[in-house]
Amino acid sequence: MVNRRIAEILRNGQPDESLVVQGWVRTKRELKGFAFIEVNDGSSLANLQAVINQDLPDYEAIIKQINTGASVEVAGVLVASQGKGQRIELQAETVKVYGEADPETYPLQKKRHSFEFLRTIGHLRSRTNSFGAVFRVRNACSAAIHQFFQERGFLWVHTPIITASDCEGAGELFSVTSLNLKNVPRTENQEIDYSQDFFAKPTYLTVSGQLEAEVMAMAFSNVYTFGPTFRAENSNTSRHLAEFWMVEPEMAFCDLEGDMDLAEAFLKYIFNFVLEKCPEDMEFFNQRIDDTVLATAENIVNNQFERLTYTDAIKLLEKADFKFEYPVSWGLDLQSEHERYLAEQLFKKPVIVTDYPAQIKAFYMRLNDDEKTVRAMDILAPKIGEIIGGSQREERLDVLERRVVAQGMKPEDLWWYLDLRRYGTVPHAGFGLGFERLVQFMTGMGNIRDVIPFPRTPQNAEF
Ligand code: ATP
Ligand code: MG
Ligand code: MG
Ligand code: MG
């Protein structure tokens, strides 16, 4: 008999087809002479209902073993369902229980659990409807990202995790030390010597793959990275993780306008893709998590984003009829409340803010002729705030050297980066998208810890 995924059976299965499914039991209902179980294998939000008749050998024993959370294999024949709620169901011929789940201790019972509670059982939460939907949408977003860039001839480049430079200059780094656990008697409470550095220079986990992506763009023209990045953020917000994934395209022969056009087309493409690939999951988010999810997605796909300069944004914020917690004035970085006000209240769509003051942005952004602002752009999303940070890069060697020094960095540490300007420099631009913030924006999930399978936040790296 053919082994099939439940999503596909629910879509295409026809009465009289014989098949096998494997999955985890969501519910069991015992009636007179038979029992219903609902099985989920992670392929869809909906479960497949199986009917187990009492004439099955060992009926009593099997039913006793099957509880919410048990893993089973059911073989049988599809039949048209008599009941409401499903088109077809599986008439079981054999049921095999792989692993039982004790109803006294299995933490996922039928009631709805809070996300806070589910974070304490992160190793089991993927078996719930919400997390099933989140991780399927997360997968669809990843696939859309690769498809978007591959269709446009971008090269996917793998930039290093271990680096010697702090790309953003923000100083929120995790350092890398070597440790040979074979030489450490783990049973004894002995001091561990972390001091023997493996690398000749101090090294860190990367905060961004951008500088290395620029290296690759200076040979392949259009490239992108998509990988994990790390920041020792001590901020306990619903938008920051210590480990998050970033998508960073980098384009040679490209200015800030080209960069913004690409970023906007990119977001539209991903939303479109997910709406098409995961309609049930998106409907679920709209019903259960945030009733603006579908309208927001339609809005992204169909409307142009707003574009304005930082200077104009500050003017709008200064005269806003809204009490902000943090002050706004020219020269200060926007806080997420300001970003959200612009996108959520004022324009009611994503907003691209450009030309930020040089002093609040990284050294590599291209200086404007006013010498005060840089060719930066941030894309601000309703409910989230910043989801993309990008810029045209400084391609002029002398200006870049000046900016490196002004930001307290040593040009000799960045000799290879400066070389890119020494030999065959070109105008180029790129951006970084926080992948988890995109998934948050897409699904309406309020907390970034709930859109990554294993969130890393201060004090939390257990599972
Ligand atoms: P924020 O102002 O929200 O702290 P940032 O300006 O420090 O973000 P960038 O250095 O511009 O962040 O990084 C590019 C993108 O990566 C951001 O636009 C955001 O989407 C994402 N990002 C940055 N820091 C984090 C984090 N700690 N957790 C998750 N995503 C992040
Ligand atoms: Mg930050
Ligand atoms: Mg920022
Ligand atoms: Mg930024």
Which carries the bigger pLDDT value, residue 112 or residue 192?
Answer: 112
Helix (H, G, I), strand (E, B) or coil at 356: strand
C-alpha 192 – ligand 1 centre gap (Å): 34
Query: What average pLDDT score do residues 124-128 get?
Result: 97
Of all atoms in ligand 1, which is nearest to the CA of residue 246?
A: 16
Give 35's contacts (C-beta < 8 A, 6+ positions apart).
Answer: 28, 29, 51, 52, 63, 66
Of all atoms in ligand 1, which is nearest to the CA of residue 438?
A: 20
ipTM: 0.99
- pLDDT of 190 over the 90 cut: no
Q: Which residues surround ligand 3, an ion (CB under 5 A)?
A: 386
Q: Residue of the nearest CA to atom 30 in ligand 1?
A: 434
Helix (H) or strand (E) holding 355: strand 351-357
DSSP bridge pairs for 250: 223, 430
Structural tokens at position 194: 């972390």
Q: Residue of the nearest CA to atom 23 in ligand 1?
A: 434
Closest CA to 451 of 463, 440, 462, 435: 440
DSSP class of 448: G
Whole-angstrom distance, CA of residue 363 vs CA of residue 344: 30
Within a 10 A sphere around the Cβ of 405, how many other Cβ atoms? Answer: 12
pLDDT tens sequence across 426-455: 999 999 999 999 999 999 999 999 999 999
Which carries the bigger pLDDT value, residue 111 or residue 387?
Answer: 387
Give 223's contacts (C-beta < 8 A, 6+ positions apart).
Answer: 154, 155, 156, 157, 213, 216, 217, 249, 250
C-alpha distance across the termini of the chain, in Å: 37
CB 420 within 8 A of CB 401: no
Q: Which residues surround ligand 4, an ion (CB under 5 A)?
A: 389
Choose one of 229, 240, 250, 266 to mutate for the ligand 1 pocket test, by most ligand atoms within 8 angstroms of C-beta: 240
Of all atoms in ligand 1, which is nearest to the CA of residue 207?
A: 10
Please give the distance of CA 250 from its chain centroid, rounded to a whole number: 20
Whole-angstrom distance, CA of residue 52 vs CA of residue 46: 19
DSSP states of 49-112: EEEEETTSTTHHHHHHH--TT-EEEEEEEEEE-SSSS-SEEEEEEEEEEEE---TTT-S--SSP
What is the per-residue pLDDT for 1? 73
What is the per-residue pLDDT for 463? 79
Residues making up the chain, counted from first to last? 463
pLDDT tens sequence across 71-93: 999 999 999 998 888 999 999 99
Is residue 177 very low, low, confident or very high in pLDDT (cuts 50, 70, 90)?
Answer: confident
CB 104 within 8 A of CB 246: no
The domains located in the chain, with CATH, are: 2-106 (2.40.50.140), 127-172+207-450 (3.30.930.10)
Which carries the bigger pLDDT value, residue 463 or residue 327?
Answer: 327
Whole-angstrom distance, CA of residue 372 vs CA of residue 116: 44
Of all atoms in ligand 1, which is nearest to the CA of residue 432?
A: 14
Residues whose beta carbon lies within 6 Å of some atom of ligand 1: 168, 231, 233, 239-241, 244, 246, 386-389, 432, 434, 436-437
- pLDDT of 189 over the 70 cut: no
pLDDT tens sequence across 21-67: 999 999 999 999 999 999 999 999 999 999 999 999 999 999 999 99
What is the per-residue pLDDT for 5? 96
What is the per-residue pLDDT for 183? 64
CB 25 within 8 A of CB 37: yes
Q: Residue of the nearest CA to atom 19 in ligand 1?
A: 434
Whole-angstrom distance, CA of residue 373 vs CA of residue 233: 26
Q: Give phi and psi for 313, each to the nearest 5.
A: -60, -40
Q: Residue of the nearest CA to atom 25 in ligand 1?
A: 240
Q: Tokens 């395209």 sit at which residue? A: 249
Taken in order 421, 423, 427, 433, the sign of the CA dihedral is: negative
What percent of the chain is predicted at pLDDT more than 70?
A: 96
